[in-house]
Amino acid sequence: MSASPAPVEKQGERVEKLSGVDAVVLVGGQGTRLRPLTLSAPKPMLPTAGVPFLTHLLSRIRAAGITHVVLGTSYKASVFEEYFGDGSRLGLELEYVVEDTPLGTGGGIRNAASRLRAEHIMVFNGDILSGVDLGAVAHSHLDNDADVTLHLVKVADPRAFGCVPTDADGRVLAFLEKTENPPADQINAGCYVFKRSVLEEIPADRPVSVERETFPGLLERGARLQGHVDTSYWLDLGTPAAFVKGSADLVRGLAPSDALPGPTGEAIVLDGALVREGAKLVNGSTIGAGAQVGPGATVDGSVVFDGAVIGANAVVTGSVIGANARIGDGAVLRGAVIGDGAVVGARCELLEGLRLWPGASLADGSVRFSHDA
């Protein structure tokens, strides 16, 4: 069952310590904010920089020295095992647990308990792109003998998030809801280390939110919750705008990944894609396998899925073009999400957040949608 381990890049004590840690990755969410893309694939399986997003996360987990990973699935559960199998291609031993009814983040973690073997468990939200040193998070946890350690990230504007203040020793003081005047600029980054005994206290077989129920409950009863504050790259890929930014940052080498050979420049063009003369691919775009970009077209900071067609002189900026979708000649798209197989007619303009559902069709020149129209 276990795979021959891939070479581990980071050697030394950190890697040794992490080899005694199991990982749980939560991938069961419906990804509603990313519809219509998530109608056909769960969010962690959407292609980013040429591979499913989850590949980047799993590769980072492996590079940190963790080899046993349990995926907590629910929405479109079978897709994960079909793609990753036993994990051996990534040097991992992958197991899958399925929630027939979604159990939320806490319930999803608890549902993996029967498969866990290590005394300390690193838990990941499956939609976070982060450069945090996983070894350092585990060290904080072990050195402080914490019940749970949370990766906390500092953000420029914490008003949009609940914040998590800590004391001088890094001990978590509170979990605060969104407010206009947050007392700290650090937020829950969606990566935790649990003592297994604490993880097993989460109620089984009912939905539990780890953020709203488990952590505040642990704090109330005096458990040691440690914050590991960090300022490295961090992005939650939950929205279309974040998804295109994350993919572009991966392509340009601004976001860390152990699944790519290194920075690839302005664009990644996958096998069998055809880019016609005079087309421009810039700002970290990805052109999927078998896709076509017409002459004079510009694809700027966008993700074009497999088999999609971008017409001549079209301009596609900060957008996601679903598999086999067709964008007509001279069309202009900015911040748009086009579902699989949808058709945008020639010279249509779709600006700022417009989403077209799979298979929908807009006739040539029929739409000019923008805030200033």
What residues line the site for ligand GTP (CB under 6 A)?
26-34, 43, 72, 74, 99, 102-105, 108, 125-127, 238
Minimal distance, residue 25 CB to ligand GTP, in Å: 8
Minimal distance, residue 254 CB to ligand GTP, in Å: 22
Tell me the CB-side half-sphere exposure of residue 82, using CA atoms within 13 A: 8
- Encode burial over 312-336: b for 16+ CB neighbours within 10 A, e otherwise: bbbbbbbbbbbbbbbbbbbbbbbbb
Q: Which is nearer to ligand GTP, 159 or 206 (CB)?
A: 206
Q: Which is nearer to ligand GTP, 27 or 46 (CB)?
A: 27
Name the H helices within 181-239.
Answer: 196-199, 215-220
Minimal distance, residue 167 CB to ligand GTP, in Å: 27
Q: Which is nearer to ligand GTP, 134 or 344 (CB)?
A: 134
Distance CA 239, CA 236 (A): 8
Are the C-beta atoms of residues 107 and 24 closer than 8 Å to each other?
no
Distance CA 165, CA 183 (A): 7
Place of tokens 């159990």: 103
Q: Which is nearer to ligand GTP, 166 or 188 (CB)?
A: 188
Q: Write the CB contacts of 11 (distance below 8 Å, at least 6 apart in sequence).
A: none
Q: Which is nearer to ligand GTP, 73 or 285 (CB)?
A: 73
Are the C-beta atoms of residues 104 and 207 closer than 8 Å to each other?
yes
Which tokens sit at 6?
């891939």
Determine if residue 75 is left, alpha or beta; phi over 0 gives left, psi from -120 to 50 gives alpha, anything else beta: beta
Distance CA 337, CA 321 (A): 6
Minimal distance, residue 39 CB to ligand GTP, in Å: 12
Minimal distance, residue 272 CB to ligand GTP, in Å: 30
Distance CA 318, CA 327 (A): 14
Which tokens sit at 270?
């996958």
Q: Which is nearer to ligand GTP, 322 or 328 (CB)?
A: 322
Relative to beta strand 234-236, strand 128-130 is: antiparallel
Q: Which is nearer to ligand GTP, 29 or 246 (CB)?
A: 29
Minimal distance, residue 187 CB to ligand GTP, in Å: 13
Distance CA 97, CA 100 (A): 10
Minimal distance, residue 246 CB to ligand GTP, in Å: 13
Minimal distance, residue 364 CB to ligand GTP, in Å: 33
Q: Which is nearer to ligand GTP, 94 or 314 (CB)?
A: 94
